[in-house]
Amino acid sequence: MDGSAAKNTMTGAEAMVRMLEAHDVRHIFGLCGDTTLPFYDALYRLDHGIEHILTRDERSAAYMADGYARVTGKVGVCEGPSGGGATYILPGLVEANESSVPVLAITSDVGTRSRGHYPLTELDQEGLMRPLTKFNRVIGHADVVPDAVRHAFRAMTTGRPGAAHLGFPIDVQRGEADPDNLWADPAHGRFPAHPFGPDPARIEAALDAILSAAFPVLICGGGVLLAGGEAEFRHFVEALDIAVATTISGQGTLAETHPNCVGVVGSNGGVPATRDLVGRADLVVFLGCRAGSVTTELWRTPAKSTRIVHIDADPEVIGASYRTEVAVVSDARLAVAALNAALAVRGPQPGFGAAAVVADVKRRKALAFASLAASADRPIRPERTIAALRRVLDDDAVVVGDPGTPCPYLSAYYEIRRAGRTVFSNRAHGALGYALSAAVGAAIGAPGRKVVALMGDGSFGFTCGELETVVRLNLPITFLVFSNAVYGWIKAGQKTRFGGRYFSVDFGRTDHAAVAAAFGVTAFRVDEPEQLVPLLEKAVAQAGPTLVDVISQPLHEANAPVSEWIA
């Protein structure tokens, strides 16, 4: 082969690196394996500006990519090897897909010609990933790499964002690709790419319905945040003085200090006062929200008889659970902008006087929280921990919560004082072990912002090995463990629904501070309520990673804002 011919060829692995670079990928989270060696070698040899973050578990890599995507608005990329590595990466992919977060997983694979001959780590990756992703392909030839990557990024970032998977066989990595086919639409590196607007007639119908109501309530999912429509949304809310509630994923759509925002509603983080507000509504607008079981308390609040306007980028969710009076299929930001434009044409409206009603809801909510947050009880009440955390952190801090003990308290009582995504949790599937890893992605994606991860000791046990990653990278993350030696969510359910017949939910107490210290993390243990604020202040002020182990009241003994337990 002469020199000119050599310049016109590249390997599939090199093509993958160049296509990631073309889509403005700057970080990849992953774990090495035999079948990934050509890809790693290409990352080593080429000049591309991509930093590879070595993780200790493929599941963690996917969660890191998820947290990274949520704080940057860019596609998160993770990678792992064939066989077990491909199976371990699944939890993060399905969570991202159902949470409308674009995460690309690249899993290497056995050679295409060895399939069916029982090679080590052979697995039907395409069949495995199909129901869990928005786009899924095992690449069959090196020349197809650029097309496959373009298709994956296009699928992830357009319409309703979601996850993608690319299987990357080792012989495809070594094969010959055409460098002339390396190009990308730069818009597909971020989300939402190429958002689409609403039918003007549907906007007019939605506005007619809203204005015809006596007391409408907006329930916002993550759609407005994903679309970057917070400013447009606030304008609409203030123009009509309308009441606003959010799902857990929608926290930050409007600052919870805003006079029209009551915060989270639903069975996880809602309280009786917020439930009463939704029950009072004669019309509910679901905006960028699927109206799922948690938000609606098993489709009981709002009642099925309530008039519904539903606005979402995914037409499949509209009308799935509620009879819908007006459906608007649109990017959330563009839909709200269109509502504002239509409202401007109609002129000033009298408004709904919601701020006064919301003020009473907030007063009732604050009263219920205040005595618990000031409690000197031991073990420490979770409310007191949340109050201390809110006192210590600035409004720009990123707080990541696991779905167990932290989530209901964080969503109900950690007041978000600025619009934008500052608090998030893995609410689509709620697997334990998310917060520690997602916080790593958030810290890398948002350097300069304080990141705090909240978890129970069950979740800590899932992913504490990633503390080595945190120390190696010297990330300034503070980890807070609610230590109660129990799978608390399940035990609380056994108490309320199965007569307190507790079975296989308790485990031995771990000294989380000692474990963290063994990895090189500066760690503290707190068992006295009055120690919380000074030790949290000390932990948050540290330059490197820290952990605070809080000896906490277990959920089955607590007053958690979870409606099924209260009932």
**Are both 330 and 388 inside the same structural domain?**
no
| Domain limit, last residue, from 312, 331, 357 | 357
Q: What is the pLDDT of residues 408-439, one digit of tens each?
A: 999 999 999 999 999 999 988 889 999 999 99
Last residue of a domain, one of 161, 189, 217: 189
Whole-number Å distance between alpha carbons of 477 and 347: 49
Question: pLDDT grade, residue 404 (50/70/90)?
Answer: confident
pLDDT above 70 for 333: yes
Could you list the residue range(s) of the whole structural domain that residue 141 is in? 3-189
Quick one: 387 and 342 in the same domain? no
Asked whether the beta carbons of 40 and 167 are under 8 A apart, the reply is no
**369 within some domain:** no
What is the pLDDT confidence band of residue 178, given thresholds at 50, 70 and 90? very high
Asked, for residue 366, whether it belongs to a domain, the answer is: no
pLDDT category at 3 given cuts 50, 70, 90 is very low
Q: Indicate whether 353 and 380 sit together in one domain.
A: no
CB atoms near residue 319 (< 10 Å): 13
Whether 195 is in a domain gets the answer no
Which of 251, 260, 255, 172 has its CA nearest to residue 216?
260
What are the φ and ψ backbone dihedral angles of 37, each rounded to 5 degrees?
A: -60, -45
Q: Classify residue 386: in a domain, yes or no.
A: yes
pLDDT score, position 7:
56
Segment 532-545 mean pLDDT: 96
Count structural domains, the chain: 3
Domain boundary among 155, 189, 223: 189
CATH of the domain at 224: 3.40.50.1220
| Ramachandran class of 187: left when φ > 0, alpha when ψ lies in -120 to 50, beta otherwise | alpha
> pLDDT tens digits, residue range 264-286?
999 999 999 999 999 999 999 99
47 and 67 co-located in one domain: yes
Nearest partner of 92 among 119, 41, 122, 129, judged by Cα: 129
Q: What is the pLDDT of residue 4?
A: 36
**Integer Rg of the chain from CA:** 24
Please indicate, yes or no, whether residues 115 and 217 belong to a single structural domain of this protein. Answer: no
Please indicate, yes or no, if residue 368 is contained in any of the structural domains: no
Q: Are residues 498 and 388 in the same domain?
A: yes
**Do 126 and 221 fall into the same domain?**
no
Over residues 46-58, the pLDDT tens digits come to 999 999 999 999 9
Vertex 314 angle, CA 309 and 316, to 5°: 85
Same structural domain for residues 405 and 491? yes
Give the whole-angstrom CA distance, residue 421 versus residue 228.
10
> For residues 124 and 127, what is the distance between their CA atoms, to the nearest angstrom?
5
* Local structure of residue 552 (DSSP, 8 states): B
